[in-house]
Amino acid sequence: MLSKTKVNFSAALLATTFLGSVASGETTIVQMVLKDFISTNPNSVAHIERIEAVLAERGNDIKIELIDLPASGYAEALGIMLLSGKLPDLIYFQGGDQKIADQGVLEDWRPWIKGTKYLEEALYPHNTARLDNYPYLMHVFPLRAQQPVIRTDWLEATGLSVPSTIDEYTDLLIAIRDGDLDGDGVNNTFGTTAGGSLTELDGYLNPAFGIIATWLQDDGGNWTHSNISAQERDKLTYYNQLFADGLLDPEYITINWEAKEDRFYTGRVGVVSASRPTNVVIYQTKMNTVHPGTTLTLIDPPEGPKGQGLLAVDVSKESRGWAMSALSENKEAVITLLDFMASPEGQFMEQFGLEGMHHEMDGDQVKILPELGSWESPFMISASWAPTVELFPVPAAQYLENTQTYFLPDNAFAFPSDYAAAVDATTNVYNEWAFKFVSGAASFDEWDDYLAAWKAAGGESLVKYANTILK
């Protein structure tokens, strides 16, 4: 269970406005707030209006009123609004939710979901696990997981098959480095890169080195943090070899996601990771604008000396998602809305976008338009609804399958608030030393120095606490 830290809120938070409250017998107004989904965006308004129309046809006179907050600094703006005492019925958090939940003003989703016609079945296994641990946030979307993609024509040009092992993956990066696949006459292409963090590589390589959870057991059966494990050292040794051999972009630590993608489109790197299926669609769409007719191939996580899989998934809580105000007088309307969005008709709207812009209809036949790649489902993507038309190209569909095939639940847990400084400090120590090990600025002969620094930064207390929690 998550620890609770009490925050002294303004009295207004507990005693003032119910934003969605209406008198009995009138149209029920559900107020909601969602980043980038605002009343001045015509696509947002069109989506809401058609939802309202279908709900009305079914006898549910519900109006959805959007609360507009800036996209830049959304989490901060949301926190300020909530602290002022104004709680919409339906609130989308991107952080900052726990201090609100600790005040008892967010509803437990579980009793409301139970028995719904569609919503209960829409949940993914990780949703259920997270709700059991923290029942205030719900994010019904496929798992986000870093998975690597490559241009199909480049893969074919190397003469290699899709790699299935670490050795084959390394061979592919070598072929990219040495093959002048962009045809500019110079071998100036790196095998892979990352958008400012090793996390993108860890996302599909951690299990290959035996890092299958945040906490691992040592030879004595005691729990130790994976960041200071022998498995972590093996993985960083591999990354160091990629760096030294010119297979890993040396600027991976300083670039952002935009620069990462630009390197991919312009042929400076051959393999990049995608964090969700829509990223795969976007990569393929943008690549086609530069290199018409180009398709992408998704690479399964390669098997290494210790296993195969995707990064272990934290199931302690959702990091983002929908909350329902415990002060709302419109909870039934909120559940009616969400249950409809999980229904086949609601999911068609959510996943196919707007007719005439994202898809076209010819009788009962759906034609997907290229613009669908820019559509983001605002409410949810159900685990139980299967569209009659393929929404995603092959690599994106494979991405979705892989998130379930290679799913690993993590054993991470939330520390009490008095450990927060130690968590931050040890993370900083790890990031600093990991880059030094990978780049060669530090020798692996200094591994014990890193371990000492990590423990001195508060890691020793974290490990002791973990051994009281994990069994």
Note whether 179 and 422 are within 8 A (CB). Answer: no
Note whether 287 and 182 are within 8 A (CB). Answer: no
Provide mean pLDDT across the span 26-38.
Answer: 95
For residue 399, is it within any domain? no
For the chain, the domain total comes to 1
For residue 17, is it within any domain? yes
Both tokens of 115, joined, read 């028995």
Question: From CA 317, how far away is CA 391, in angstroms rounded?
Answer: 29
pLDDT over 70 (residue 15): no
For residue 81, is it within any domain? yes
* CA dist list (Å): 353 to 71, 139, 329, 330, 396: 21, 19, 30, 27, 17
Provide mean pLDDT across the span 21-48.
Answer: 87
For residue 35, is it within any domain? yes
Q: According to the model, what pLDDT value does residue 242 have?
A: 98
Q: According to the model, what pLDDT value does residue 425 have?
A: 98
Stronger pLDDT, 8 or 331, i.e. the higher one: 331
Task: For residue 103, give its domain range.
Answer: 12-143+316-383
Lowest-confidence region among 22-31, 113-122, 179-188, 361-370: 22-31
- Which residues lie closer than 8 Å to 114 by C-beta, 6 or more apart? 120
Provide mean pLDDT across the span 349-359.
Answer: 95
pLDDT over 80 (residue 101): yes
CATH number at residue 376: 3.40.190.10
Share of the chain above pLDDT 70, in %: 95
For residue 164, is it within any domain? no
CB atoms within 10 A of CB 155: 23
Provide mean pLDDT across the span 200-209.
Answer: 98
pLDDT over 90 (residue 58): yes
Question: From CA 471, how far away is CA 455, in angstroms rounded?
Answer: 22
For residue 149, is it within any domain? no
Q: According to the model, what pLDDT value does residue 25 have?
A: 53
Q: According to the model, what pLDDT value does residue 370 have?
A: 83
pLDDT over 60 (residue 18): no
Per DSSP, which regions of 169-285 are E strands? 190-192, 215-217, 223-225, 269-274
Chain segment 277-301, per-residue pLDDT in tens: 889 989 998 999 999 999 999 999 9
Q: According to the model, what pLDDT value does residue 388 have?
A: 80
Q: According to the model, what pLDDT value does residue 1 have?
A: 31
Lowest-confidence region among 89-93, 136-140, 233-237, 405-409: 405-409
Q: Is 183 exposed, middle or buried (0-12, 13-18, 19+ CB in 10 A)?
A: exposed
Q: According to the model, what pLDDT value does residue 125 have?
A: 86
If you ran DSSP here, which 8-state letter would residue 409 be given? Answer: B
Instruction: Find the DSSP H helices in 384-446.
Output: 394-405, 420-439
Residue 2's pLDDT band (cuts 50, 70, 90): very low
Q: What would you report as the CA-atom Rg of the chain, rounded to the nearest whole angstrom?
A: 24
pLDDT over 90 (residue 272): yes
For residue 390, is it within any domain? no
Lowest-confidence region among 245-259, 335-349, 363-377: 363-377
Q: According to the model, what pLDDT value does residue 298 have?
A: 98
- Please give the mean pLDDT across all residues of the chain: 92
For residue 133, is it within any domain? yes
